[in-house]
């Protein structure tokens, strides 16, 4: 079963198309990179794949189910980290983890995985701070932690390495 199937999708603003006839399939464990010049529509394509933007035409399926037919539980099988992750101003880093955990009814194993990810990304000692006080790289690490903690079948990352330290 394919993880992500994209068939002849098109997107545009007003009468102008940004891109059209985009098709591809991603299989389990497969990694794909999207490369192009600034303004080519790469971020827009990722937002469409995540279901954040409405397509002009075509279809996107996650695990053989069209995006618009996914239940909330099935929808959580895809995670998207935008190029500028957004966080709630009044929640600390760990409160973001708690919110995600409660909203998705995590079991103890998932909580443990989130804690391991916080440690691995070097965020654990900053968990009582607000993300807006973080550097851009630290915000990216928190967003990746939250996305990976969901154990998604499909992970979409928009410019994930830009603000990160080489290590």
In a domain, 163, yes or no: no
| Boundaries of domain holding 57 | 4-75
Q: What is the CATH number of the domain that holds 38?
A: 3.40.50.300
Q: Give the number of domains in the chain.
A: 2
Q: What is the pTM of this model?
A: 0.85
Is residue 166 predicted with pLDDT exceeding 70?
Answer: no
- Asked if residue 32 is part of any domain, the answer here is yes
Choose one of 41, 75, 109: the last residue of a domain: 75
Does 83 reside within a domain?
A: no
Residue 165 lies in a domain: no
Q: For residue 88, is it within any domain?
A: no
**How far apart (Å, rounded) are the C-alpha atoms in residues 80 and 64?**
18
| Tokens matching residue 71 | 């239940």
Q: State the residue for tokens 């192009």.
A: 36
Q: Confidence class of residue 167 from pLDDT cuts 50, 70 and 90?
A: low
CA distance 2 to 68: 17
167 is a domain residue: no
* Residues 58 and 113 grouped into a single domain: no
In a domain, 133, yes or no: yes
Span 32-89, pLDDT tens digits? 999 888 888 999 999 999 999 999 999 999 999 999 999 888 888 999 999 889 999 9
State how far the Cα of 65 lies from the Cα of 105, in Å rounded to an integer. 23
Among 30, 48, 75, give the residue marking a domain's end: 75
């Amino acid at each position: 079963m394919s993880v992500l199937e994209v068939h002849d999708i098109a997107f545009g603003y007003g009468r102008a198309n940004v891109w059209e006839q985009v098709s591809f399939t991603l299989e389990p464990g497969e990694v794909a990179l999207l490369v192009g010049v600034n303004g080519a529509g790469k971020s827009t394509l990722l937002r469409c794949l995540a279901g954040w933007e409405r397509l002009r035409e075509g279809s996107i399926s996650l695990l053989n189910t069209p995006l618009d037919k996914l239940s909330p539980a099935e929808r959580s099988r895809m995670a998207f980290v935008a190029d500028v992750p957004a966080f709630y101003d009044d929640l600390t880093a760990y409160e973001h983890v708690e919110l995600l955990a409660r909203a998705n009814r995590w079991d103890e194993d998932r909580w443990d995985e989130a804690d391991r990810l916080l440690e691995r990304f070097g965020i654990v000692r900053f968990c009582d701070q607000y993300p807006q006080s973080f550097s851009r790289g630290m915000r990216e690490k928190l967003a990746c932690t939250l996305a990976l903690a969901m154990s998604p079948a499909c992970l979409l990352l928009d410019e994930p390495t830009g603000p990160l330290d080489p290590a």
